[in-house]
Amino acid sequence: RFLCKQYNIEVIEEEEGESDLAPNGERAEVLKAIAWMQDYMVDQLHHTEEGQTVALPYLAHRGIGEEAIRSFGLGYCPKTSSEFFQKAIQDGIDPKYLEKAGIAVLRENSGYNRFETRITFPIHNVIGRVIGFGARTMAENKEKKIAKYVNSPETEVYHKSNVLYGIALAK
């Protein structure tokens, strides 16, 4: 607000209305898929062998401690496409909502998780609900064949230009 006032920029503040909070329709299913994904990736980081032997040491090496990992809700997404989709279906998540949430890309007889083999950073809206993800590869990127960072695409619930990373924590 201070900077906006200083540079004559209008601040438009929007609080989520009842329609944003109400559990109904496709938007609610997309938010459910995103929340499931967040839980899945945190679980993968803390409760799997790969998370504990690869991802957590990687974060520690980069100076990111357990307090920051928990505060920011960091996670890890292993390369397990078929198991990932099976787990989602088992937990009541329709894969089409994973796609609408920007998490997965579905193909005719298969699909893949956009964030495979990456450390994930949830993106929250102003009230603290996860609406998207950023992710970073742990692989050395000398050949430039894989993107270092991957972010959620624009979706029904995530509009990059309307979100400031960490705003829910700052609030």
Each residue's pLDDT tens digit, 47-101: 999 999 999 999 999 999 999 999 999 999 988 777 888 899 999 999 999 999 9
Q: For the residues 128-155, what does the mean pLDDT come to?
A: 86
Nearest Cα residue to 147 out of 156, 133, 158, 137: 137
Q: What percent of the chain has pLDDT over 90?
A: 60
Q: Which pair of tokens denotes residue 42?
A: 């945190």
pLDDT at 94: 93
More confident of the two residues 108 and 14: 108
Residue 117, pLDDT > 70, answer: yes
Q: How many residues does the chain have?
A: 171
pLDDT at 147: 86
Nearest Cα residue to 146 out of 103, 168, 116: 116
pTM: 0.82
